[in-house]
Structure 1
Amino acid sequence: MKSKNNIIKIALDLSWLKFTWALWVIPIVFIVYSILRYFIKDEKFIQQGFLPFVYEPIKIFMLIVGIMSVSAFLTFYVKQGIPRKNYFYGQALSSVLVSFSIMFVGFLIALIEKEFVSIIHMETYLGQNPSWLLLYFIYSLTVVGYFVVGWLIGAGFYRFGVLIGMGYIALAVLVLSVIDRFWAFELKGLLGKLLFFNGHEFSVVQSFLGTIMLILLVLWINRITLKKVAVKMK
């Protein structure tokens, strides 16, 4: 019971910290978006609205936070006598809480825009004007994927240094490319040709299951990488 309580406490602490960082990111993105709407008269950009616009910076933000998470948070919690296992599960739970919370804020702003500011006609891989609830879960799950992949990069460099860490970056790029492909983004160049399912059309269920399986796989690699890593106390 104590271990479970520690995991929940770590998850809540980490979630609150990351969310306070995100509260700076979303207003900045909204200001940039508002300025661009004023100067850019492209009809497609205007009709897409705030939601697809904020989704991209949030993915990058969570990727960066994931990269930072090992050197910053693992060292701190181990110094406090928290087992690596508790840190790992707390961090994993936090990634879900924060991703869904940040995207929820983005969706609220987008809904307000849709109702009061302008007429939005989003066109996504789900078709034109898709279900916002379904889109919320897709975007949030993808953001979770970006965080755990950033965590993968951070774990590789923290344990093995630059040389093997570069291999972790290559793995991270591959995982993110596959996740993007699940949601119907066309891959260009050599990487797209190497993925044997590049021409396959995935259903929403297949894409959800594939994304979740990839996230779980990366979490397992993170767990193995950090399980016995020597923590840098300085």
Structure 2
Amino acid sequence: MNVIISDIKDAIRFAFSDLKTVLFVGIVLCIISLLNKKVNLDDFDFAVRIIFNLLSFYITGYGSYVTLKTIQENDKPPKIGHFRKLTWEGFKKTAIVAIYGIFLSYLFHLGKIHLSDNLLLASVFFALFIVLYAILITALLNRYQHKGSFFQAFNFKKIFSLFKLFDLENFILLFLAAITSQLIIFTCYIDFSPNLTSIEMIHALLMVILAPFILLFCKRLIGLRSKKLLHNVSNWIEDND
């Protein structure tokens, strides 16, 4: 428990350690949020979508980079830059999440359908949803051991070997941190109203002020917990050589 509290404190300090980076991440999230609103100028729709997608991939890639650098013993937020590299990383991660997301959506849909007429069957589908989401987290973690390889997210032999090493504390923390960080990105895609109203402006402002701190905190916490898990993996490999 003391180790977990120490990691949480570390993640909080990390999120506040570089205000310039936090501000930049917040501005990018705000721009993504605003670009997602309905655009009336049809001539600019295509260009806006390109910019929107590139920024979305970039911020996703930056989040992955925070986790990776944490695992590599880096205690400061990565410097802003490397646009092509981080955008490509964000694209790969988005594609992986989308592929797993097809099956996750299907399981959740089946659970929702049977919720009213067969509670037991619905519980089975929701349980499978949680298990598959945990496998997704493990698949993303497995990539960090293989230089971010796209295909290692589908190397199920290694993924299941890694999955077996999860202890309950690590699983819960990684699960909650992963969901929270993904929700931060997901809220950028929500249309609260057809036009840019006051509530949209408040939401965009929150993207600048609050979202980057939460995002960096979660990615750092995932990295710290993953580092501990990967240390256990190294010990497990040595014991089984």
**Considering the TM-score relative to the shorter chain, is it more than 0.5?**
no
Report 1 or 2 for greater relative contact order, CA contacts < 8 Å, sequence distance ≥ 6. 2
Alignment TM-score, normalising by the size of structure 1: 0.32
